[in-house]
Structure 1
Amino acid sequence: MNRARTDCRLSLHGLPLRGRLTLMTTTVSAVLGCGLLLLNWLSTRQLLKDNRHLVDPASVAAPAQTEPIPIATPQGPLMPAALASPAQRFEDFQHTVLNDLLLRSLLLLAVFTALAALLAWWGSSRSLHRLSQVTAAARRIGTGSTLDERLGLTGPHDEVRELGDTFDAMLDRLDRSFTAQRRFTSHASHELRTPLTLQRTALEIPLAQGRVPADLRPAVQRALDANARSERLIAALLTLARGESTQLTPHPVDLACAARDALADLADEARTEGIRITADPGSAPVAGDPSLLRQIALNLLANAVRHNHRDGAVTLTTGAAGGLAFIEVGNTGRLLDPDEIPALFEPFQRGREHRSDGSGLGLAVVRAITLTHHGELTATPRPGGGLTVRVELPTAPPEQAPQSPASEGAASGGGLPGKAHR
């Protein structure tokens, strides 16, 4: 019994809110209709009994009646109507009236219950329509890269309108907070670049002129290495801040060109580590920021090379299908649990196997740039170990001729680093 109740409760919880409201309203209407039907039937029976004397005046004195003699027939005894007493005729009349009343009432109850269900479904649909708008907008904002969309619900000032206004106010606060965070990261990175450049210059000049004692050269070299890592980290933070920004001027770009540039930049590093790279750079025209799109290819390939084992393999593919351009990079490496994948795209997450020159921002930059360009990023662990990352972006209009990201970035003076960030 308890298990049946639990199963029923679970099945009701699986219904949408509109279905539960309709079911609840229909049930209430049916229960109230049954109660009204019962009261009507009992009232009619009582009225007939109270007014019985109008049909059978002899029932007031209630004299002793002689029982009519039934007529024997082959089908059984038959009570002739002429021999039936007034009391018997009233009982037959009352029974007919109550049965007919019950039948008609049940038919009317079924019809009105069906109408109540239809009206409840229609009313709940109209009431929940604006709530569906809130849900759809929240889903778009949650999967998008910006917080500039607002609900702006219209209509009566009811609970749904209040929910929409509260949601818009929350988005305003989040947008201001994220904008301030990106602005702080960008400004702080710019401000830190100057002292780091001065420190590097102050160390490189005496080292190049041979004015540093031999016993101090290792310490000076370590300071230069630390300075270089700091500059790469700052450059990565600047790229991340710019990738999360919505102030982009799109240009036609071919991801195949970005992939070739990334291959040229990382060829020496892959050769040193014994990593074999297999590339199939098919045409993948998109519209976006050339220097940022170059960072997608560079960071994905650098992540695949650096998070690999000795004499491992990397595959790089670009192309277009179904109105989307894509770049896909896969690598060998350690076995990954699917639960680990989301954390890899968070800032400063290097994974278990990483080199000291990585900042942990490479895949975070890829995700930020992908979302800013209204694309989709998927990562899948490989059965034999390693990871496959695929970035899909809307293709550029056919009349636009894609340009090389490297040349476009140089023309715009983007100032982005030539090294990948992970």
Structure 2
Amino acid sequence: MKITLKLTILFTIITAGIVFLFAAVIYNYAKQDREEEFYQRIKIKAFVKGELLFDAKASAQTLQEIHKNNLRVMNEAEIAIYDQDFNLLFHDNQKSDLIKETPQMLQEILEKGEIQFYKGKWQAVGERYTFRGKHYLITAISYDHYGYNKIDNMYNHMVYAYIISIVVICFSGLFFSIRAFAPVKDITRKVNKITASKLDVRLNVNGSKDELSALANTFNQMLDRLESSFETQKSFVSNISHELRTPLAAIIAELELSLSKDHTTQDYRDAISNTLDDAKRLVRLSTSLLDLARAGYDKSEISFKSIRADEVLLDARQIEQQANPNYHINIDFDIDADDDQDITIMGNEYLLKVAFANLFNNGCKYSPNNQCSVKIQYTNSAIVLQFSNEGENIPTEELATIFKPFFRGFNQQMASGNGIGLSLTQKIILLHNGTISVTSTGGITTFTISLPLEVF
């Protein structure tokens, strides 16, 4: 069931309930008003009859004739008058005797002074009437034809009006539901047009601050992220293809050349050596890609634990120097740590080793003397690592793009690489809620890393 139909039904039920309660209150109030008004009319007629009998000295026969004449044109009350000893003094129509007074009823009238009650649909009153110091008891009963007809007509009209109002409410609810969800349908229609090749489609935002505008803004922001992610992925795949094609083409060329004709032993050794270098390059590339993918995981999927940053640095230096014995790496502690808490961080040991090794490798590779140094400093809330090496200054325009994947700078001819190391390092540092920046002046290039200390 569509939401528009659900809202229409819910709106109709709620509104119909409110209208029903309102109509019921009015109807009950009208019934009570009719009842009280008719009781007052009967009481007035009872007192008038008492005045005529006692004060005006009208005869019983005259009063009975008046009663009979009035019955022809209106619903006249049937009245009976008793003395305080319950003796009947007057009765409009003793043959019908609609009330059929009992001693208990007359006693109640005498004690209370007034009673009201129903006989079926007939309304009756009992009144204590005093004339010249003596108490008399008057009973009167009548049927309110006009009042009942008026209430019945009112009931019928309310039923018809209620049915018509339900129909109007239903169609009104449907109309407003359709109008209210028109922007949602527009959003759905535009979203259906979005495909992997059409991520530039955006939802209209009318500038208001309602919930639908907030939804459209959120969706547009998500599309911005998706489009950026898709473009990055396309660029990533394109760069990977290029990086893989070069060493593979070189390997194939070397092997085809070796098979084309007979060669000397030295030629074969040179071909195998070149092929081995290209294979190692492929291994380094695949390892870097795997590390890059791992650094892109959600933080909740990576295990973090308390580790000492200096120990991770020493392990990373050992790994890099084992792979490149000609690299010289110096670690300088600016201030000695008095406590483990001064140098303990929450992190993933493997990823941090990869990040630090990349910076060691990058510094030594582009340094004329294959030398890199790192200075360790502390603050109250973070540990700061400065990786420095001598060499040519990095151009200012390249500093802004140095952390992009597969970016190779002006010095790419000086050493081999695939442009993944610095991008991978930045991802790892950000994953640890840290920051990384680079400066290059005066022949010194410095990468500065800040990592938050573990809170104890």
Q: TM-score, normalised by structure 2?
A: 0.42
Of structures 1 and 2, the larger Rg is shown by 2
* Bigger strand share: 2
Higher relative contact order (CA 8 A, sep 6+): 1
Q: TM-score, normalised by structure 1?
A: 0.45
